[in-house]
């Protein structure tokens, strides 16, 4: 590459503009191409000069919009994102910027995806200083977390395909890890133990989550102008489904809201401890109060989302129909609510008893006094009405139409 005064000719930085620029003269006309780093500019400069010498230079092939790194493209996508989960998207974007941020979009291959997938699954948590000899390290990321990272990248690269910067999305044909779906809810004795170890003001947040079934983000970013105590309803303008949702309030939930005085100093139902103009930091609350309380109460395998499962499970076990539970929780698909169907009283009990080989079959009968089981007789032991004989091979009637 030609150099002048110790500097690379044709590669420079332009005043007031970001990145490195490649300057070429083709048929007496000046052309500029932007790159993110100096090494990329050197590689592009050499490639363009070679094409000019061979007579295969096509400016549209090396347009600046085509040459962009994965990091720069992620930044552009995040700048224009209107997703309510933008904080998670930024976290995923930072992770991918560290892993493959310097790669050009066209250089990201499916093999790179498989390698990153294997490395993320094999990475373990660091060993704490106070660990004993029998310490068993755990994985840093679960399969579900890894899948969320790749789902974000698949969306970002699909936008690049639609914009003409990629021909094919390398993540589209990648197989995601199977996820184990758990429906962990807290039983009555676990709730009592948790209440006994928590402060009363912190327990109100837990009780409110169980009474309403709100997601963590919906609850901790709840504003007083979304609360209608007179009609007993919460109005969520931008929930997870993207449509305005109305959540009915139980009497206990309304009593909890009336016990708060945060409306006197803040627009948020749960304002921050230091800055009341901002909502409380949910992650800080979990680390400070909720998670230590779970450990003190001896509750394992539970998280804040388990309270949402608890809200659904308690209603289903109390006899509330699944359609009503779907509306309360704001599920878009009834299939999501069906995960709680096994908790319904009497569910599948009548179905499994029907057609039983035993002489006595029970069925559940509901009346004003409640539910009770009655004995019914199997079909084989019923008395046939007189005059109706079962068909036999000898009593076959042939009918033909000619």
Q: Is the pLDDT of residue 169 over 60?
A: yes
Provide the pLDDT for residue 180. Answer: 76
Residues 323 and 251 grouped into a single domain: yes
User: Residues 277-293: pLDDT tens digits?
Assistant: 999 999 999 999 999 99
Is residue 357 a part of any domain in this protein? no
Residues 338 and 229 grouped into a single domain: yes
Is residue 153 a part of any domain in this protein? yes
Residues 198 and 318 grouped into a single domain: yes
Q: Minimum mean pLDDT among 204-208, 325-329, 351-355: which range? A: 351-355
Residues 157 and 43 grouped into a single domain: no
User: Domain total for the chain?
Assistant: 3
User: Taking the CA of residue 364 as centre, how many other CA atoms within 13 Å lie in the half-sphere pointing to its CB?
Assistant: 12
- Report the sign of the C-alpha dihedral through residues 237, 243, 244, 247, in that order: negative
Q: Which helix (H) or strand (E) holds 11?
A: strand 11-12
Residues 241 and 328 grouped into a single domain: yes
Is residue 44 a part of any domain in this protein? yes
Is residue 395 a part of any domain in this protein? no
Question: How far apart, in Å, are the Cα atoms of 305 and each of 181, 202, 294, 326, 363?
Answer: 13, 16, 13, 16, 36
Residues, the chain: 402
Reported as a pLDDT band with limits 50, 70 and 90, residue 381 is very low
The mean per-residue pLDDT over the stretch 248-264 comes to 94
Say how far apart CA 366 and CA 66 lie, in whole Å. 69
Residues 241 and 317 grouped into a single domain: yes
Residue with tokens 């979304």: 226
Whole-prediction pTM: 0.61
- Residue after which a domain boundary falls, among 311, 343, 375: 343
Q: Is the pLDDT of residue 197 over 60?
A: yes
Residues 196 and 298 grouped into a single domain: yes
- Output 49 or 115, whichever has higher pLDDT: 115
Reported as a pLDDT band with limits 50, 70 and 90, residue 81 is confident
Q: Is the pLDDT of residue 365 over 70?
A: no
Provide the pLDDT for residue 397. Answer: 44
Residues 143 and 270 grouped into a single domain: no
Reported as a pLDDT band with limits 50, 70 and 90, residue 379 is very low
- Going by C-alpha positions, the residue among 74, 84, 21, 16 that lies closest to residue 240 is 84
Provide the pLDDT for residue 125. Answer: 87
Say how far apart CA 267 and CA 277 lie, in whole Å. 7
Is residue 184 a part of any domain in this protein? no
Provide the pLDDT for residue 273. Answer: 87
User: Residues 103-127: pLDDT tens digits?
Assistant: 888 889 899 999 999 999 999 888 8
Is residue 352 a part of any domain in this protein? no
Residues 298 and 204 grouped into a single domain: yes
Residues ≥6 apart with Cβ < 8 Å to 353: 361, 362, 363
Is residue 327 a part of any domain in this protein? yes
Residues 234 and 217 grouped into a single domain: yes
Query: Domain holding 219: CATH number?
Result: 1.10.443.10
Residues 155 and 82 grouped into a single domain: yes
Q: Is the pLDDT of residue 155 over 80?
A: yes
Q: Is the pLDDT of residue 358 over 80?
A: no
152 touches 89 (CB < 8 A): yes
Q: Is the pLDDT of residue 275 over 80?
A: yes
Q: Is the pLDDT of residue 240 over 90?
A: no
Residues 108 and 87 grouped into a single domain: yes
Q: The domain containing residue 54 runs over which residues?
A: 3-62
Is residue 171 a part of any domain in this protein? no
The residues facing 365 across adjacent strands are 372
278 touches 268 (CB < 8 A): yes
Residues ≥6 apart with Cβ < 8 Å to 245: 235, 236, 239, 330
Say how far apart CA 212 and CA 304 lie, in whole Å. 13
């Amino acid at each position: 590459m030609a150099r002048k005064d110790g500097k690379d000719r044709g590669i420079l930085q332009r005043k007031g503009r970001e990145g490195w620029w490649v300057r070429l003269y083709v048929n007496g006309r000046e052309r500029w191409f932007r790159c993110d780093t100096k090494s990329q500019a050197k590689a592009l400069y050499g490639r363009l000069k070679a094409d000019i010498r061979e007579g295969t230079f096509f400016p549209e092939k090396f347009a600046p919009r085509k040459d962009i790194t994965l990091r720069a493209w992620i930044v552009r996508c995040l700048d224009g994102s209107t997703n309510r989960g933008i904080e998670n998207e930024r976290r995923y974007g930072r992770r991918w910027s560290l892993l493959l941020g310097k790669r050009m979009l066209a250089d990201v291959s499916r093999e790179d995806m498989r390698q990153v997938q294997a490395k993320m699954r094999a990475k373990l948590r660091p060993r704490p200083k106070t660990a004993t000899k029998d310490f068993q390290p755990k994985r840093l990321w679960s399969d579900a977390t890894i899948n969320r990272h790749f789902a974000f990248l698949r969306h970002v690269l699909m936008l690049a395909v639609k914009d003409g910067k990629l021909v094919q999305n390398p993540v589209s044909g990648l197989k995601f890890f199977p996820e184990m779906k758990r429906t962990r809810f807290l039983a009555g004795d676990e709730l009592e133990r948790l209440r006994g170890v928590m402060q009363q003001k912190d327990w109100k947040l837990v009780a409110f989550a169980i009474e309403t079934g709100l997601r963590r983000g919906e609850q901790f970013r709840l504003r007083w102008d979304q609360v209608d105590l007179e009609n007993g309803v919460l109005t969520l303008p931008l929930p997870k489904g993207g449509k305005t949702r109305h959540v009915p309030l139980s009497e206990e939930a309304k009593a909890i809201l009336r016990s708060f005085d945060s409306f006197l100093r803040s627009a948020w139902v749960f304002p921050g401890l230091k800055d009341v103009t901002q909502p409380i930091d949910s992650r800080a609350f979990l680390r400070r109060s909720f998670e230590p309380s779970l450990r003190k109460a001896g509750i394992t395998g539970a998280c804040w989302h388990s309270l949402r499962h608890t809200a659904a499970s308690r209603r289903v076990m109390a006899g509330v129909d699944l359609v009503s539970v779907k509306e309360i929780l704001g599920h878009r698909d009834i299939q999501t609510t069906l995960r709680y169907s096994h908790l319904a009283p009497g569910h599948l009990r009548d179905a499994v008893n029907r057609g039983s080989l035993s002489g006595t079959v029970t069925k559940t009968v509901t009346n004003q006094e409640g539910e009770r089981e009655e004995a019914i007789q199997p079909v084989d032991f019923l008395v046939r009405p007189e005059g109706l004989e079962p068909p036999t091979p000898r009593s076959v009637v042939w009918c033909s139409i000619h």
